[in-house]
């Protein structure tokens, strides 16, 4: 009886959860990268559901059937050591499931780390996104403009975000377009994504950075390429230039609204060139580099 209660309430909760899925941000993707992750998530949920149901049914059967109250008083449970076949099944089925999920994981991980599907041959738009306490600075080196706490991107074009931070580690996250990646102070990370539909998407820092962390959000607006071009031209014509002093002021800890400038901070405050703080390889690192290459080769083969 008691177990059933748990079972029903959890199945009930799960049903609510599944019906709500479509409207949940992460499961409502607007670009190829997020679509891949959403598919992976749904596949894993269904697979795991099978395991959960099997365990729950087994548990309920055992608890109801072998309850002391449902048995004769003189019943003496037998001594059962274990059975080879049962154990092979207990090990075998999880192994099969793990292999299945591993294949999906490896495939999808390479997919979301690479260029967005369908846009492999397009020239990506490079945007530098830097976190500072507790803001996001977006620099468009080609268009020579900079925005704070919001970013406009064209639809149907791959975007390459170059991520780094002034200060603590932040995690760049636009759930409807792609998964997270860290922005760190001593290394530049690359995040590939693309938007297939115009619209406004929530973006935020997901990694705790201190007092203003909860509000460290930004808006991503995806515009059709023509509208995007208009926007660029408008900014270039109207915005104030970004000076070094002004940028240093922006870096002061605190919250800011959305701001727009011409020019970028990349000229006077370039992104880090180190790899996790270490200088890029000198002579002695060759073998490590080679090892790395050969490992990648063997993966591809």
Taking CB under 8 A as the criterion, which residues in 227-256 touch another protein?
none
For another protein, the closer of residues 20 and 225 by Cβ is 20
* Closest CB 76 distance from another protein, rounded Å: 8
From 230, 268, 273, 278, residue interacting with another protein (rule: CB under 8 A): 278
| Number of residues in contact with another protein under rule CB under 8 A | 112
Contact between 45 and another protein per CB under 8 A: yes
From 4, 13, 234, 252, residue interacting with another protein (rule: CB under 8 A): 13
What are the two backbone dihedrals, phi and then psi, of residue 171, each rounded to the nearest 5 degrees? -125, 115
Residue 258: alpha-carbon gap to chain centroid: 24
**Per the structure block, which two tokens stand in for 49?**
């559901």
How far is residue 118's CA from residue 100's CA, in Å, rounded to a whole number? 25
Contact between 160 and another protein per CB under 8 A: no
Contact between 271 and another protein per CB under 8 A: no
Question: What is the enclosing helix (H) or strand (E) of 223?
Answer: strand 217-223
Contact between 56 and another protein per CB under 8 A: yes
**Interaction residues for another protein, span 132-151 (CB under 8 A):** 133
**Per the structure block, which two tokens stand in for 2?**
């008691």
Selection from 219, 212, 237 nearest residue 138 by Cα: 219
**Interaction residues for another protein, span 171-190 (CB under 8 A):** 171, 173, 175, 178-182, 184-187, 189-190
**Interaction residues for another protein, span 79-138 (CB under 8 A):** 79-82, 86-87, 90-91, 93-95, 97-98, 101-102, 104-106, 108-114, 133
Q: What is the dihedral angle through the alpha carbons of 210, 212, 215, 217, rounded to the nearest 10 degrees?
A: -70
Q: Beta 199-205 vs 170-174: how paired, if at all? A: antiparallel
């Amino acid at each position: 009886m008691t177990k059933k209660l748990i079972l029903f309430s959890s199945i009930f909760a799960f049903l609510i959860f599944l019906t709500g899925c479509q409207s949940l941000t992460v499961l409502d993707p607007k670009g190829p990268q997020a679509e891949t992750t959403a598919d992976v998530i749904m596949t894993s949920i269904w697979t795991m559901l099978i395991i959960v149901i099997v365990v729950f049914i087994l548990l309920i059967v055992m608890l109801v059937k072998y309850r002391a109250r449902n048995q004769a008083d003189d019943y003496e449970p037998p001594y059962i050591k274990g059975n080879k076949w049962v154990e092979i099944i207990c090990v075998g089925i999880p192994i099969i499931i793990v292999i299945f999920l591993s294949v999906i994981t490896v495939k999808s991980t390479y997919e979301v780390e690479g260029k967005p599907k369908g846009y492999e041959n397009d020239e990506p738009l490079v945007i530098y996104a830097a976190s500072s306490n507790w803001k996001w600075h977006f620099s468009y080196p080609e268009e020579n403009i900079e925005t704070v706490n919001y970013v406009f991107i064209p639809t149907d074009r791959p975007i390459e975000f170059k991520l780094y931070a002034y200060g603590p580690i932040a995690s760049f996250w636009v759930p409807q377009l792609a998964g997270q990646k860290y922005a760190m102070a001593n290394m530049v990370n690359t995040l590939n994504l693309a938007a297939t539909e115009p619209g406004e998407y929530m973006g935020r820092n997901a990694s705790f950075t201190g007092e203003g962390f909860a509000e460290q959000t930004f808006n991503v607006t995806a515009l059709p390429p023509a509208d995007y071009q208009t926007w660029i031209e408008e900014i270039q014509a109207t915005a104030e230039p970004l000076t070094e002093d002004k940028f240093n002021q922006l870096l002061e800890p605190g919250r800011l609204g959305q701001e727009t400038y011409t020019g970028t901070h990349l000229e006077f405050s370039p992104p880090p060139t180190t790899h996790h703080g270490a200088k890029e390889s000198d002579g002695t690192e060759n073998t490590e580099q080679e090892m790395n290459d050969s490992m990648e080769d063997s993966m591809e083969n």
